[in-house]
Amino acid sequence: MTHEDWMSAAELEYRRLLEVLAGLTVQDWQRRTDCDEWDVRQVLAHLVGGAESTARLRELRRLQKLGRKFGPGVDGMNDIEVLERADTPPSQLLIDLAAAAERGVRARRRIPAPVRVLRIPFGPPLGVRSVGYLMDRVYTRDAWMHRIDIARATTRPLVLTPEHDGRLVADIVQEWVHVHGQPYDLTLTGPAGGQWSKGRGAGRLTLDAVLFCRILSGRADGEGLLAAQVPF
């Protein structure tokens, strides 16, 4: 996927995310998610904070600085995003996400190629990564995975298509392959699934595409090759 492909995917992902969020009830906001210690409202607060940090470089730097007091790497930043919006009602958070997502994708799209290749230490679990990796892949994956978290917590339908979700999953598979570096034979089922293999002697892995990504993100247990995680 090119930089522009990622930005188009980010725009679509935010639209789908907002569609799910718009239909939630008062009770839904309090439902626990697969994210440790976060309910649905807190996941939304994190998403707003993340979108704001992509819209303004100053905000990203502020979060990095404050986050060091709360935890290593991006975990501390995530805590700040949620804590600063602890008293903001879901109705306002929805307005804030729609506005911040639009500004954030616009800003991400304008990042020039020489800047996207710059490598920066982000701390665990990202480590040293390029600006492009963070702005293209990670923020788009983050919104996508949290849409899954919210749909699971609220039992809302999860819209998946090969053209959008399938491309995101295929990219995740390729990074997973790079991380484990072993022969593999992988079949992922569902609308976002596909088939990939390399080398001989690999046992066949067959599982749902969404479950595969939940395992690689640490939301579910995985053994063998599935223990190799990638950033979301």
Q: How do 194-198 and 184-189 pair as beta strands?
A: antiparallel
Give the burial string for 15-33 (b: 16+ CB within 10 Å, else e). ebbeebbeebeeebbebeb
Domain 3-154 is classified in which CATH homologous superfamily? dinb family like domain (1.20.120.450)
pLDDT tens digits, 169-227 = 999 999 999 999 999 999 999 999 999 999 988 889 999 999 999 999 999 999 999 99
Report pLDDT for 122: 76
Q: What would the pLDDT profile of 37-49 be if each residue is shown by its tens digit?
A: 899 999 999 999 9
pLDDT at 52 (0 to 100):
95
What proportion of the chain, given as a percentage, has pLDDT over 70?
Answer: 100
**Nearest in space to 108 (alpha carbons), one of 217, 9, 231, 230:** 9
Whether the pLDDT of residue 124 is over 80: the answer is no
Any idea where the domains of the chain sit in the sequence?
Answer: 3-154, 162-227
pLDDT one-digit tens code per residue, 14-69: 999 999 999 899 999 999 999 988 999 999 999 999 999 999 888 988 988 888 88
Distances (CA, A) of 171 to 67, 140, 141: 29, 12, 10
Residue 203's pLDDT is 85
Task: State how beta strands 204-208 and 184-189 pair.
Answer: parallel
